[in-house]
Amino acid sequence: MAEPSRKRRIEGGDVHRDRPRGKSDPTAPPESLAALDRLIHERVRLGIVSALAVNDSLTFQELKDLLGVTDGNLSVHARRLEEAGYIACKKTFALRVPRSEYRLTPEGRRALERHLEHLAAVIRWARS
Amino acid sequence: MSRARRSDPAESPVLEDRAQEHLRFIRSAMERAGSFTAVPGWGGVAMGITALAAAWLASRAVTPEAWLSTWLVESVVAFLIGCAAIRVKAARSGTPLFDGSARRFALTLAPPIAAGAIATVALARQGQTGILPGLWLLLYGAAVVTGGAASVRVVPLLGVSLMALGAAALAAPAGWGDAFLAAGFGGLQIGFGVYIARRHGG
């Protein structure tokens, strides 16, 4: 039973399965950090989303330099976010050199905001 | 389950530390990402050095025409240096030159520069070269402010500094023009250029 559920998340069809409860029900404590949106909880993906949140767009090379990851690692994580609809990629050619330009989608921005809200809720709960 | 966790005194600090650490990571990623700018720092330094040389040469010019020619040549040299530096920085960061922040910077920089060029021709024809240093600094500063509006904070700050220097030059005696141009196109561009190059990727 667990495998189909995990697969759905990977494919981006159910990325909010573990959606935090903080904002809709402020009195309910977040059980743990495991309740976060797992898609952007992972470090590289969280870095991609955070970097794109403060830029209109960033190229593959810029993201790679910023996050200090390999081409393959960045490709895999960026594709996961793309599949979930959190980021959009525009592929172009400049002087026959392929370029990938990434942007944060409205859904991706909302996911980051939810993530931040949940982290804040965890801190409030832990201090209470 | 959540009640049990809430009552566990050892759980809360661990969770809070982890949440805080996540927030620090997000803030750090945003700060680093926000520091990307298409404005070339080293290009600004090179433009500043040529401006200092131009100011030295112009201060020794014996006629207004020679003085104006010196600064016009400097403006062409600075323009070429700026274009080359933007191209190099865009290539290094993998940003498309004609479809990225470098293009936006150049397009927003252009209108005040064009206004300055037209005003220069009009004022030079009337022999009013004395107010040109202040006008150039003011309009170039305005160009940097508009061009750098979407860039890191230091770029519009450079523009505002140039504008302030231009305003001071307009109020000062005409004979101080080269000193103001050396301070603005030379000193400010070198200072801010080094800062941008070190903090914002070249």
Distance between CA atoms of A50 and A57, rounded to whole angstroms? 12
Contacts of A90 in chain B (CB under 8 A): none
Contacts of A32 in chain B (CB under 8 A): 5, 15
Burial of A112: CB neighbours in 10 Å, binned 0-12, 13-18, 19+: buried
ipTM at complex level: 0.70
Distance from chain centroid for Cα B125? 30
Contacts of B20 in chain A (CB under 8 A): 123
| Pairwise CB contact (< 8 Å): B16 & A123 | yes
Residue A54, token pair as written in the block: 């403060």
Distances (CA, A) of B192 to A13, A121, B135, B149, B184: 48, 41, 21, 16, 11
- DSSP character at residue A86: S
Residue partners of B77: CB distance under 8 A and separation at least 6: B50
Q: For chain A, how many residues are written?
A: 128
| Pairwise CB contact (< 8 Å): B19 & A119 | yes
Residue partners of B34: CB distance under 8 A and separation at least 6: A54, A55, B152
Task: Give the nearest chain B residue to A34 (CA atoms).
Answer: B15
| Pairwise CB contact (< 8 Å): B26 & A62 | no
Q: pLDDT tens for residues A86-123?
A: 999 998 876 677 888 899 999 999 999 999 988 888 88
Q: Higher-confidence residue: B58 or B155?
A: B58
Tell if the pTM clears 0.80, that is, is over it. Answer: no
The answer to whether A119 and B23 have CB atoms below 8 angstroms apart is yes
Q: From the list B16, B20, B32, which residue is nearest A66 (CB)? A: B32
Q: pLDDT tens for residues A17-70?
A: 344 444 444 444 555 555 567 888 889 999 999 999 877 788 888 888 788 899
Q: Which of B6, B8, B36 to mutate to test the interface with A (most CBs of A within 10 A)?
A: B36
Distance between CA atoms of B18 and B159, rounded to whole angstroms? 42
Return the SS3 of B186: helix
Residue partners of A67: CB distance under 8 A and separation at least 6: A44, A47, A48, A51, A74, B29
What is the per-residue burial (b if ≥16 Cβ within 10 Å, else e) of A77-106? bbebbbebebbbeeeeebeeeebbbbebbe
Q: From the list B13, B23, B36, which residue is nearest A126 (CB)? A: B13
Return the SS3 of B2: helix
